[in-house]
Homo-oligomer: A and B are copies of this chain.
C-alpha cells in the first residue's frame, strides 16, 4: 500500500515549513510560485493522505473577515468600515467588503461567497431583518451593526439607540416650541430608521401633541438621491398647504434637501421651521445654516463590534452574554433650530 504522507513529510520533501505546505494546499496566499510548484510536485509524486486535507479544510483559518454592507456610499457606513478594517488589519486580519445595494438576493449570494472564501468572522451592517444562515456551511461568528436579525442565536448586535435618538431629536424640537413636527423618512426603511420613527412617536405622545399621520412622510426614493427625495416631498407638502413648524428628518441629506427647498420657497430656517437631522454627516457640519443633528458614536460602535467579533473568533464556542449593545447618541445643536 502506498505510503500516506503527512503534511510534515511533504514539508520535509519540499524543503519548506509545514505552515507553507498547508497554505499551498489551501491555496491560502503568502507563498511564491516556485514554492507552490515545489509542494505540488511532491504531492503529485508521492501522493498525500487526504485525511489531512479534510482535517486542514476543517481547521483552516483564512485570517480574513467579511463585511456585508447595504450601501457603501453612506458616510456613516463607510466610517464604520474604515475603522473596523483598521482594527483587524492591526491584528493581521484582512477585511473584505461586499456591497449589497440593499438587495436581499445579493446579500444571500454574498453570504455564500464569503463563506466559500473561508472568512473567520462576519460583520453585517444594516440591511434586511433576517440573515439567511442557511447560506453558511460553517458556524461563522457574526456581529450585526444597526440591524436586528430575526434569528439571533449566538449573534451580537451593536448599534446606536435609535429609538432614543429619534426621541431626543423630537423632544428637542418640542422644547423649542414646535407644535406640528413633520417626520421625513424614506419608504425603503431599515430597522434603525423605523426605530427613529418610534422615538419620534414616543416624544409626540409624551408631550400630549397630536400624532397626525399626515405629518409622517415616507418618501419614495426610487432612483433619486436623498436630497431629491426630500426636495420632492417638501414641494408636495407645501403644495397642499400642510402646516408644520418643525422637521425631524431621519438622516442629514434628507434634512439638507428639506432646508434648501424651504429656502427656495421663502420659508426661513430656523425662524419659521426648525430642522433636526440624523447621523452628523459632513453635510450637516459644513452647510449654511449648519444642521442640528443626532450624532452616532461611530468610533465606539466600530470598536465594540470589532472587539466582540475578535473575541468570538479567538474563542470558538464562546457564548455571548450580552446580545444587544446599545450605544447612546447625542444631539448636536447647530443653526437650524
Binding site for B on A (CB under 8 A): 1-2, 4, 23, 25-33, 36, 40, 43-44, 47-51, 53-54, 57-58, 60, 62, 64, 66, 72-73, 75, 78-79, 81-82, 85-86, 89, 94-99, 101, 106, 109-110, 112-118, 137-138, 225, 227, 253, 256-257, 260, 263, 282-283, 285-288
Contact = CB atoms under 8 A, between A and B. Distances in A.
11 contacts: A2-B2, A29-B137, A36-B137, A40-B57, A40-B58, A43-B53, A44-B51, A78-B78, A94-B113, A95-B98, A225-B282
A117 B99 CA distance: 18
Nearest to A92: B109
A101 B89 CA distance: 11
| Chain B CB within 10 A, most for which of A25, A53, A99, A282 | A99
B96 A117 contact: yes
B31 A137 contact: yes
Contacts of A97: 72, 96-99
Please tell me how many copies of the chain the complex holds: 2
A2 B32 CA distance: 32
Given A2-B1, A30-B116, A116-B30, A86 B101 contact: yes
A37 to B, nearest CB: 10
Contacts of A28: 116
A317 to B, nearest CB: 17
Contacts of A117: 29, 62, 64, 96, 117
A257 B117 CA distance: 42
Contacts of A26: 27
From DSSP, what is the main secondary structure of chain A's interface residues?
A: helix
Contacts of A44: 50-51, 54
Nearest to A134: B32
Contacts of A137: 29, 31-33, 36
A58 B25 CA distance: 11
A106 B1 CA distance: 48
A98 B94 contact: yes
A118 B116 CA distance: 11
A99 B73 contact: no
A40 B27 contact: no
Given A50-B50, A82-B99, A116 B43 contact: no
Nearest to A40: B54
A43 B33 contact: no
Contact of A286 (B82, B257, B288): B257
A127 to B, nearest CB: 15
Nearest to A227: B286
Nearest to A114: B96
